[in-house]
């Protein structure tokens, strides 16, 4: 009888141990499975973090180069640079808010290659800067669009995917504008080649004799009665530094019958330009361009008093 009680007790202990063992096995199984799942989640999160960091670096680059363009570029390139600062500045702030919520640390400085490009552009000016900057903007936005489109297809984080989707239309618009501005820069550089050659020829002729110089001065200050307005209207005005600074819109007379050229300066794509009056004897008429005797820049011309039509009278044409 005692043996039967003993066996019954052993059986009871065995039955009590089985759930505990099963629980231990289940717990062990559960502990073995999560590491693989956690590794997969970490890999996906790493892709999202990599996109966020690269997008932040690109945004910093666009803003810094845009700020540089506003200091050293021609007017249409300055306008493009300002657009980059404004649009990418807003995108950078949106990305930072998302990153802060998700604990992603974004870079605060440009990468080394972007900083090197910035330093190189900082050494350029005039048409050389415009060409190099716009070339970079076209290729840069082509790469950005490709990277953003690729990320949208594989993104794991919904917030970063939404950011990429909402930013893409702006990047495409930037690329179109960059290509248009690049074409303007190339066209302007082609127009500048002839004035540079003309200036060099003029300097050579001056060294050869005073007679040539006098002939050029007569062309620049020809008698008022011999002026042909049709020959100069719409002509580009280039300063002594070889920079295109304005366009001639009209020739007028003041109350003392002195001739003035009305120049259109500033603006972007013909919008927002300002008209100023310059004495005609400060200009030298060429075949295709008009040369400003001084080195006044477009910005300096914009600071001049605006042309008031009622203070002048038109020149008789023909």
Taking only the tens place, the pLDDT of each residue in 133-167 is 999 999 999 999 999 999 999 999 999 999 999 99
Band of the pLDDT at 206, cuts 50, 70, 90? low
Band of the pLDDT at 238, cuts 50, 70, 90? confident
User: Is residue 192 pLDDT above 80, yes or no?
Assistant: no
Question: Percent of the chain having pLDDT more than 70?
Answer: 69
Mean pLDDT computed over 19-34: 43
Could you read off the pLDDT of 49-103 as tens digits, one per residue?
Answer: 899 999 999 999 999 999 999 987 889 999 999 999 999 999 999 999 999 998 8
Mean pLDDT computed over 269-281: 79
Lowest-pLDDT range of 24-33, 150-159, 201-210: 24-33
User: Is residue 318 pLDDT above 80, yes or no?
Assistant: no
Q: Tell me the fold of 218-314.
A: SH3 type barrels. (2.30.30)
Q: Tell me the fold of 35-190.
A: Ferritin (1.20.1260)
How far apart, in Å, do the first and last CA atoms of the chain sit? 140
Band of the pLDDT at 200, cuts 50, 70, 90? low
Residue ranges of domains in the chain: 35-190, 218-314
User: Is residue 115 pLDDT above 70, yes or no?
Assistant: yes
* Secondary structure of the chain in HEC code, one letter for each residue: CHHHHHHHHHHHHHHHHHHHHHHHHHHHHHHHCHHHHHHHHHHHHHHHHHHHHHHHHHHHHHHHHHHHHHHHCCHHHHHHHHHHHHHHHHHHHHHHHHHHHHCCCCCCCCCHHHHHHHHHHHCCCHHHHHHHHHHHHHHHHHHHHHHHHHHHHHCCCHHHHHHHHHHHHHHHHHHHHHHHHHHHHHHHHHHHHHHHHHHHHHHHHHHHCHHHHHHHHHHHCCCHHHCCHHHCCCCEEECCCCCEEEEEEEEEECCCCCEEEEEEEEEECCEEEEEEEEEHHHEEECCCEEEECCCCCHHHHHCCCCCCHHHCEECCCC
The bridge status of strand 244-253 relative to strand 259-268 is antiparallel
pTM score: 0.49
> Which range among 25-34, 172-181, 212-221, 280-289 has the greatest average pLDDT?
172-181
């Amino acid at each position: 009888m005692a043996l039967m009680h003993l066996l019954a007790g052993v059986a009871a202990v065995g039955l009590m141990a089985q759930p505990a063992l099963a629980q231990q096995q289940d717990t062990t199984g559960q502990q073995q499975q999560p590491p693989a799942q956690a590794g997969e989640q970490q890999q996906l999160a790493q892709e999202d973090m990599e996109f966020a960091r690269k997008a932040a670096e690109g945004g910093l680059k666009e803003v810094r180069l845009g700020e540089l363009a506003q200091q050293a570029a021609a007017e249409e390139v300055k306008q493009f640079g300002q657009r980059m600062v404004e649009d990418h500045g807003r995108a950078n702030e949106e990305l930072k808010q998302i990153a802060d919520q998700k604990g992603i640390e974004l870079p605060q400085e440009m990468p080394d290659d972007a900083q090197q490009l910035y330093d190189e552009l900082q050494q350029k000016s005039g048409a050389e800067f415009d060409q190099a900057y716009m070339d970079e903007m076209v290729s840069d936005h082509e790469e950005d669009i490709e990277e953003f489109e690729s990320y949208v297809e594989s993104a794991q984080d919904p917030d970063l995917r939404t950011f990429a989707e909402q930013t893409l239309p702006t990047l495409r618009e930037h690329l179109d504008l960059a290509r248009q501005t690049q074409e303007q820069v190339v066209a302007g550089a082609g127009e500048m080649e002839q004035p540079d050659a003309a200036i060099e020829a003029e300097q050579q002729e001056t060294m050869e004799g005073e007679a040539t110089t006098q002939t050029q001065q007569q062309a620049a200050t020809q008698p008022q009665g011999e002026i042909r307005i049709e020959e100069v209207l719409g002509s580009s005005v280039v300063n002594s530094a070889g920079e295109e600074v304005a366009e001639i819109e009209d020739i007028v007379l003041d109350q003392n019958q002195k001739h003035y050229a009305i120049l259109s300066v500033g603006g972007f794509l013909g919008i927002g330009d300002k008209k100023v009056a310059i004495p005609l004897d400060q200009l030298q008429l060429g075949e295709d361009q008009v040369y400003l005797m001084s080195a006044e820049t477009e910005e300096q011309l914009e600071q001049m008093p605006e042309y008031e039509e009622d203070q002048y009278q038109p020149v008789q044409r023909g």
